[in-house]
Structure formats: structure tokens, C-alpha cells
Structure 1
Amino acid sequence: MKKNDITKNEHQEQIDLSFGLAVIPLLVMIVAMAVTIIRFEGSPHIPLLVGTAIAAFIAWRKGYKWKRIEQGAYKGIRLALPAILIIILVGIIIGAWLGGGIVATMVYYGLMIISPQFFLVSIAIICAVVTLAIGSSWSTMGTIGVAGMGIGVSMGIPAPVVAGAIISGAYFGDKLSPLSDTTNLAAGIAGANLFEHIKYMLITTIPALLIALIVYGVMGRSYAENEMKTGQIGTIMELLQENFVISPWLLLVPLTLVVLVARRVPALPAIGIGILLGWICHVFVQGGSLGSAVNTLQDGFSISTGNDMVDELFNRGGIDDMMFTVSLVIVAMTFGGVMEHTGMLNAIVSQILKLATTSRRLVPTTVVSSIFTNIAAAEQYMSVVLPGRMYASAYEEKSLHPKNLSRALEDGGTVTSVFVPWNTCAVFIFSTLSVHPFEYGPYAILNYMVPIISIVIASMGIGITKMSKQQLNERKERIRKSNEQIAT
């Protein structure tokens, strides 16, 4: 295709679609998804492609040129490329750390130090602190989370419960870290100061974390007796010692990764260094051959201990293990891209906006819209960007401070992405922690308490900040100058 043709198609006049037409592809996709997953126990790929085909057909029949629809799909995929690259690198680092004995060492010392009674609270806090430092919930779940799953399952705690605690902790840190991409995105889209935005999110996020920790503490008491199970934990520790070189020095590898990202080294090179260190440990500490260490990065780590639990925990990782995830992300973003660039998402969210007649209704409407966008567009970035763009003027008309909008976007968008099986975040978690969203969903307590708290307090008029006339005029002037700069 010629460059001029692309430009022409990208600038085709927007055609307004009715809410009734716009919602058809979403409803078809959701019904197909329910039948495929629940009835046939299949994957979400085909239902998403069916939804994409329906959306493309409707857009074409209403006057959109096929090239414009196609470009929308490509734009959706391009939006996911950074996530795809991280997914691949996380698969590699899991393989490298498994082969290098790093995960085994973390599991071994975790079993030695942490009691089953306090494990859920401990792993949630650890993931929260690590993510707060590095700003990436995905990196935390792909490293600390994998080891946490090994420790928790070895203690006899159900995998969905462990995954829920890991996710809650990781997303707490992700929301409040100034290094987080979604935190910066929400503040930027809404026009709020980053640190004002973070401080304002404490209103909903801290209570949600406290509720989660209390529930995990109560649940942990029911697992206290697992500590006395006849030799189960001891057997696992012995198997780890027999099959890996266990050394506290190996803990320097994850510590190095945390320090690198905390010092604002970008995620990709930091993960790359983590992969290199894991590969070196595989060859020079665990005694693996160069060939097996390289193959582990592609095919994943493989071990046969005779213990089904240990084998299931450690036979994973590598690029191949992430290809299901990568393909699902591409398909999901194709659907989201067509829905976004043909104006269908805009038509649906605009209809929702009509419910926001007062300030107290506007915040809950924004939260619900972000949740809906997570379902329709399959990407948490879209759940921040689309409602953020659409509702900015509504907040300004009601003289609401932009930090109200930025917090609502995160309360509804960032944390709820983990519950949608075809959303890129849930897909990543499923591939990394090996637990389906339907299973860990009830235990990711922080992730559903945040939007609930946000809606309740906003409906009561709590935590809503208005701008003075001076602040409103200053904001309008900044926007005017910014638009002039863009135009020139």
C-alpha cells in the first residue's frame, strides 16, 4: 500500500454509528466467548475473531472503507507491541531463572522462613513493595510471583488463592508507583499533577489493601495446620536440594533486578540483564551445558523429580510458553482496534456518559466506563485513554479537579483488567501464574474493592475536589497554549 493511500484512509471522515449497532459486535463476542470457554472449554481466540468480523462488517456496511477498518486493526496491534515484547522477555526470564536455580532458591528459603498462616499477607506485602519500587506489576508477577506460587502451593494453599494475593499486592504497588506507566498515563490524560494524582488515589487504594490483608490474614489461619502435614514441605525442600544448587548468593539476581528498575533503568534492559544473570547461573552454578541453557530460553525449563507438584511448578518458561499469550494479545487488540477506530467504542461510551448528570454520578460513570472499555477493547491502556479523552470536558464543565478524573480512570481501568479473560493483563497472568481469571478472580480482593470503594464514596460526595474559578481559568489557558503549540 502506498503511503498516500494510508494517509488518505486514516483521515477518512468519521461516520457516526448508533449505540444499537455499536454494541452488536460486543454482545456477539461475549456470547461466543461464554459458549466457547464454559461449554467447550476452548480458548478466547475464535470468539474475538468472530467479534472482529462482525464489527468490520457493520462498519463496512455503514460506509467505512475496508482500508480504514484494516488500519484500525493494525493500530490496535501496534498499541500492544510493547506489551508483547515484555511478555516474550518475561517468558525468557522465567526459563533462565528456573534453569539457574534462582526460583528454586527463592522457594526453598521461602518455605524455610514463612509460615503458611502468614504467607498470603506476606506475599501480598512483598509484591506491593517490589512493584512500588520498580513500577511494573508484570515484572513483579513474572519473577517474585512465580516463586510465590511455588512457595504457596508447596504449603498446601490453593493456587487461585495464592495468585489472588500476588495480584492484589502487585497492583497496589503499580497504582501508587511514580514509575508505573498506567499511573503516568492516567495523570497525563486527565491533566493532573503526577504526585497529586498518586496522593489522591490513597483514598481508595489504602482501604482496599487493608481489607485485602485482613481477609488474607483470616484465610491464612485455615492454612496454619498445613505446616504440620507429614513431611510434605520437607520432601519438597529435599527435592529442591537434590536437583538444584541452593545458595543465598543466588538471591542477588532478583535483588539486582529490583535495584536496576528502582534506579530508573528501563524495564526492557533491566529484564535483559536479569535474563543474562539467570543464564550465567544456569551454566556456571547449576552446571548446565551451553546448549541446554540456550534451549531453555526458547523451550522452557524441563525437570523430572518424580513429584508431580514440583514438576508442574518447574516445567515451564521460555519463549514457546508465551506464544499462546502473544497470539491472544494480537487477536484481542485487533478486535479493540476495529472497535476504537470505527467509532463503535465512542458510541457506546457516549451513551454511558448520558447517565452522568451530576458530579456525584460522573465519577461512578467514569469508573464503570473504564471497566466496560477493559471488556470491549481488551487492553488496560485503552481503558484509561478512551474514557479519559471523552470525559475530560465533562469534568471541566462541572469544575471538578482533573485528579478526580485521573483517579477514577485508574480505579476502574487499571485494576479491573485482570478479571477479563481476553484482556492483555489477564492473559499475561494466566500464562505467568498458570491460574485462570475465573479461578483467581474472587481472591484478587484489592482489584475489585478499589472500584467498589471509589463508586460508593463518590456517590456519597466524599473525596470529590472542585476547582476554584482561578484554577479553572488557568487550566483552560494551559490547554489553549498547548493546542496552539501542537498546531504550529
Structure 2
Amino acid sequence: MEQRNGREVSFWLAMLPLTVMIIVMIFTVVKLEQGPHIPLIIGTTTAALVAWKMGYTWKDIEEMIYKGIRLALPAVVIIMLVGLTIGAWMGGGIVATMIFYGLKIITPSWFLVAICLICCIVSIAIGSSWSTMGTIGVAGMGIGLSMGIPAGMIAGAIISGAYFGDKMSPLSDTTNLAAGLTGTDLFDHIKHMLFTTIPGLLIALGVYTFLGKKFTTSQIEAVEIAQTSQVLQESFLITPWLLLVPLAVIVMVALKVPAIPALLVGITLGFLSQTFVQGGSLVGGIEALQSGFKIETGNEMVDGLFNGGGLDSMMYTVSMTIVAMTFGGILEFSGMLKALMNQLLKVVKSSASLIASTIGACFLTNASCSEQYISIVVPARMFSNAYRDKGLHSKNLSRSLEDGGTLTSVFIPWNTCGVFILGTLGVSVFEFGPYAVLNFIVPIISILYAFTGFTIVKLTEQEKIEIAQKELEKEQLKDQEVSLG
């Protein structure tokens, strides 16, 4: 995008809002131990001033903000539904049932491996890391904490598994987005990601196996687990029939029922379970949906696990998402983000540095725009021609977008993904970061492949001719539109 006077925004001017936001963010979050909202608002204000300096009117800037927020609206709806789901499933005894049977089946030493693999399977089936974390992940946190495993480790294993499936599932929105934006066949894209994601998962499982060795079931821990199970039985009606509720949601999404109606069915079943299975009142069921489920068992750990959820619990995350997208909207639609990406392209000298720059740009976009989807959309637009010019197949770009964009979003505390995890699992980036092994090891593997040339696919001569023909047809269509206009 250009200024009103026709000049492009300079790199240093584009860097100003990002620099201000990051400095204020570090001081506020690390030093003052406050939330990320105000630093993002300060960053948005700085970005608005820069856009005004570029020649945009306030009306233009408002429209940029609204466009940014509109991009996040699907995520906002999912966030609210996940809050309702947690409240309904807590009150309906569904989470208690999953924890109860989980404590009986899974041993502490293998828990991290097991929960990671379970989340892998579920997220592949439903194509959503957020839905996986908001359902199976919540139960997993309860099981792991009952076994005395640190929250950061549990969350890291859950996140690794959830994002493995989100990345590899043909039902995933980010997977389809990366393939669609780059013009890559969906299943070619998924197959190409196997080369980086499977080694990443194996390394993660190896780390979780090693970490799990220290968590053997001692006599004291066995007594604590037995006490937790007893409290759950006294507080809820535990029955395997309640497991049909999460199973129904997983099956519906696997059958390509959209996520929103599938979650609504899960919420309804949870509400009915609280009212008719657990014997709760209608008022109690509605309160669980609105403000979260509340229980007093006398067991501090159980009370800590089950007092939560509800629509209100997600309002912090919703407000964070909206504030983040006001900042990202101005950066994206004013052309500032493009100026930052163009600077990266100037230092690209080889195919290897191009792929590394793509992954770096995705991470930068996650940090600056605070939204996973933008971290795929913007680099896809910026780098597509460069990949073609260097004779690289589009599936190299689509894989890099997911390795650098989808996975690294969880490491930014003010990114919608980082905030969602804090609101859902109750664990901050600083706690789970070292243990979300898949999410940081896959980008490293991808960069190593780039510099060794392993699995980097070049365009064939026939593919180059076909691409050139398509570009020619596009230009001809544009010329026809201009002449008709």
C-alpha cells in the first residue's frame, strides 16, 4: 500500500509502532506483571499516528481497525463457545468422568506421552487445536495435576499434540488456508509437512518419555490419587455414558459438521447432563454457562480444577483478541507490514535464506499482529513471487507458512493463541514454552532442511511453463477488464 502522495512507507517508520509496542509490552508484562492489553493499545495509537503521518484520514484508519477486528470474529465466536463448553462439561460431570477414568488408566510416568498422543488423534479428527485444548486439554490438565506433574509440562504436551493435529488435519482451517493461498494441492501440502512434523513429534515424545521417568507412583501419590478419585465420586455421578458427549462432538466434526454447531451440541448435552444426570437446577446450569461452574468439596485441588469455565471467563481473551487486531489491522492495511516484509526480502540471496526468512516473517507477524491467520496470509502474499522466481515449488512455501506461522503463535503472550491457552489451560507462555517441544523444534528442523536442501522441491520445466501460462492469462484478463472499464 502506498501513501496518499504515492511514496511507500519507509522501513524505519513502519518499525516505530512495533518497537514502541514491544518495549512497552516487555516493561508492562515482565517488570510490572500486568496484562498485555494496554501495551497493545499504545502500539495501536502509535500505528494510527504513523498512518496519519502517511496521509491516511481518521476514517481510513478506523476502517483498517474494523477490517482487522472482522478477521478475528470467527476466532472470537469459538473462544466464547469454548468457555460455554468448559462450564457445561464441568457442571455436567463430563470433565470429572474423563479425569476419573484417566487416573485409573494412565500411569504418571507415561502421562505426558499419552496426553500428547491423545491430543494428536483428537485434533487430527476435528482439525482444531483450540477445540482440542478446550475439551480434552482441560481434562488432561486435571489428570496431570492430580498426579503431581507440573502444569507447564502438562500444557506443553497438550499443546504439542493439539497443534500436530491442527497442522496435519485436512479439516484444519490453517492447513486449508496455507494450501489455498499458495495454490498448492491440499494433500500435497500435508504430505510435504510430514517431513518436518513427524520428526518434530518423535523428538517431542522422546522428551516427554524422559521427563516422565521422574514421575513414578509413590505410596503417598497413590493415596492422593485415590483421594481425588473418591472426592470425584462423592461430588459427581461418574458414568462411562457421559464419555459419549465428547465422543459425539469429535464424531460430528470428523464428519465435517462445522465447529460451531458441533460445539453447540456439546454445550447442550453438557447442560442437560448437569440438569438431569447430576441433578442440578436450571439456575445452576445457566450460571455454569454464564459465570462458570462452582463447587466446594473441601479438597483444595479438586475445587481449583472445577471452579471455572463459562462465558465470563473468556471475556479477557475476547477483549485481548479485539485489541490485538486493532493493532494488526492498522499495520496490515496501511502497508507498514508490507514494508517490514520487503526489508526481509532484500536480504534473501538463496533458496535457503528465502525459506528461513519466510519462517522468520511468520514469527514476526505473530508478534506484531497478534493473530495466527495474518501470520499465514501476509507472508503468503509477500513471498509467493520470490519462491517462483527461485524455481521453488509452492509446497515449500505452504510448509514454511505452517512451520513458522501456525506453530509459533503459541509463544507470543499477546497473540490470540497464547492468550487462549492462558484462559483455557490456565498456564502462561513462560510456563509451558520450554515444554511445547513440537512447536519450537519443527521450525528449527524446517530451517535445517532449507540449508541442507533436504526435501526442498524444485519446479520442473513443465511446471514452470504452466505457471508462466497462467500468469499470462491473468494479465490478459486484467487488460480486458481495463479496456471494458
Using the TM superposition, name which of 63-72 and 121-130 deviates more: 63-72
- C-alpha contact (below 8 Å) 1:92/1:317 kept by paired residues: yes
Deviations 1:39-79 (A, max 9, x none): 11100000000011111111112212111111111111000
Q: Sort the Cα spacing of 1:392 and 1:230 in 2 relative to 1 into closer, same or farther, 3 A.
A: closer
Deviations 1:90-125 (A, max 9, x none): 000100000000000000000011000000000000
Distance of 2:6 and 2:216 partners within structure 1: 60
Distance of 1:388 and 1:315 partners within structure 2: 42
Aligned equivalent of 2:348, options 337, 356, 360: 356
Aligned-residue offset at 1:265: 0.2
Aligned equivalent of 1:406, options 385, 388, 398: 398
Q: Which residue of 1 aligns with 2:259?
A: 267
Q: What's the secondary structure of 2:376's corresponding residue? A: helix
- C-alpha contact (below 8 Å) 2:5/2:55 kept by paired residues: no
Aligned equivalent of 1:219, options 207, 211, 227: 211
Q: What are the equivalent positions in structure 2 for 1:381-460 lying under 5 Å apart? A: 381-460=373-452
Aligned equivalent of 1:59, options 51, 62, 67: 51
Q: What's the secondary structure of 1:164's corresponding residue? A: helix
- C-alpha contact (below 8 Å) 1:155/1:226 kept by paired residues: no
Aligned equivalent of 1:278, options 251, 266, 270: 270
Distance of 2:431 and 2:87 partners within structure 1: 25
Mapped pair 1:339 → 2:331: yes
Aligned-residue offset at 1:422: 0.8
Q: What's the secondary structure of 1:231's corresponding residue? A: helix
Q: What are the equivalent positions in structure 2 for 1:213-362 lying under 5 Å apart? A: 213-226=205-218, 228-229=220-221, 231-362=223-354
Using the TM superposition, name which of 217-226 and 146-155 deviates more: 217-226
Mapped pair 1:166 → 2:158: yes
Q: What are the equivalent positions in structure 2 for 1:135-146 lying under 5 Å apart? A: 135-146=127-138
Distance of 1:472 and 1:303 partners within structure 2: 64
- Number of residue equivalences: 480
Distance of 1:227 and 1:341 partners within structure 2: 60
Mapped pair 1:110 → 2:113: no
Give the TM-score of the pair, scaled to structure 2: 0.96
Distance of 2:470 and 2:399 partners within structure 1: 21
Segments of 4+ in structure 1 off by > 4 A? Answer: 9-15, 479-488
- C-alpha contact (below 8 Å) 2:352/2:447 kept by paired residues: no
Letter in 1 for 2:155: A
Distance of 2:477 and 2:161 partners within structure 1: 41
Deviations 1:279-326 (A, max 9, x none): 110011000011111121111100111122111111111110000000
Q: Sort the Cα spacing of 1:456 and 1:252 in 2 relative to 1 into closer, same or farther, 3 A.
A: same
Distance of 1:439 and 1:106 partners within structure 2: 24
Structure 2: gaps of 5 or more residues = none
Aligned-residue offset at 1:227: 6.7
Q: What are the equivalent positions in structure 2 for 1:87-126 lying under 5 Å apart? A: 87-126=79-118
Letter in 2 for 1:151: I
Deviations 1:154-192 (A, max 9, x none): 000001100000000000011100000000000111111
Aligned-residue offset at 1:354: 1.4
- C-alpha contact (below 8 Å) 2:2/2:9 kept by paired residues: no
Q: Sort the Cα spacing of 1:375 and 1:214 in 2 relative to 1 into closer, same or farther, 3 A.
A: same
Q: Which residue of 2 aligns with 1:130?
A: 122
Letter in 2 for 1:121: V
User: Cα RMSD between the aligned structures?
Assistant: 1.7
Mapped pair 1:24 → 2:8: no
Structure 1: gaps of 5 or more residues = 1-8
Distance of 2:476 and 2:115 partners within structure 1: 49
- C-alpha contact (below 8 Å) 2:295/2:306 kept by paired residues: yes
Distance of 1:227 and 1:134 partners within structure 2: 39
Aligned-residue offset at 1:485: 6.7
Deviations 1:362-397 (A, max 9, x none): 111111111111001101111101000010000111
Using the TM superposition, name which of 12-21 and 335-344 deviates more: 12-21
Aligned-residue offset at 1:469: 1.9
Q: Sort the Cα spacing of 1:119 and 1:463 in 2 relative to 1 into closer, same or farther, 3 A.
A: same
Q: Sort the Cα spacing of 1:10 and 1:372 in 2 relative to 1 into closer, same or farther, 3 A.
A: closer
Q: Which residue of 2 aligns with 1:4?
A: none
Q: Which residue of 2 aligns with 1:195?
A: 187
- C-alpha contact (below 8 Å) 2:21/2:42 kept by paired residues: yes
- C-alpha contact (below 8 Å) 2:411/2:418 kept by paired residues: yes
Letter in 1 for 2:346: K
Q: Sort the Cα spacing of 1:230 and 1:140 in 2 relative to 1 into closer, same or farther, 3 A.
A: closer
Mapped pair 1:39 → 2:35: no
Letter in 2 for 1:172: F
Q: What's the secondary structure of 1:222's corresponding residue? A: coil
Letter in 2 for 1:115: T
Mapped pair 1:49 → 2:41: yes
Q: Which residue of 2 aligns with 1:209?
A: 201
Q: Sort the Cα spacing of 1:61 and 1:310 in 2 relative to 1 into closer, same or farther, 3 A.
A: same
Letter in 1 for 2:157: A
Deviations 1:252-272 (A, max 9, x none): 000001100000000000000
Aligned-residue offset at 1:401: 0.4
Deviations 1:325-364 (A, max 9, x none): 0000000000000111111111111101112111121111
Distance of 1:421 and 1:470 partners within structure 2: 45
Give the TM-score of the pair, scaled to structure 1: 0.96
Aligned-residue offset at 1:13: 7.6
Distance of 1:60 and 1:33 partners within structure 2: 23
Letter in 2 for 1:252: L
- C-alpha contact (below 8 Å) 2:68/2:325 kept by paired residues: yes
Distance of 1:83 and 1:208 partners within structure 2: 27
- C-alpha contact (below 8 Å) 2:362/2:404 kept by paired residues: yes
% identity of equivalent residues = 57
Q: Which residue of 2 aligns with 1:6?
A: none
Distance of 1:74 and 1:320 partners within structure 2: 24
Q: Sort the Cα spacing of 1:145 and 1:485 in 2 relative to 1 into closer, same or farther, 3 A.
A: farther
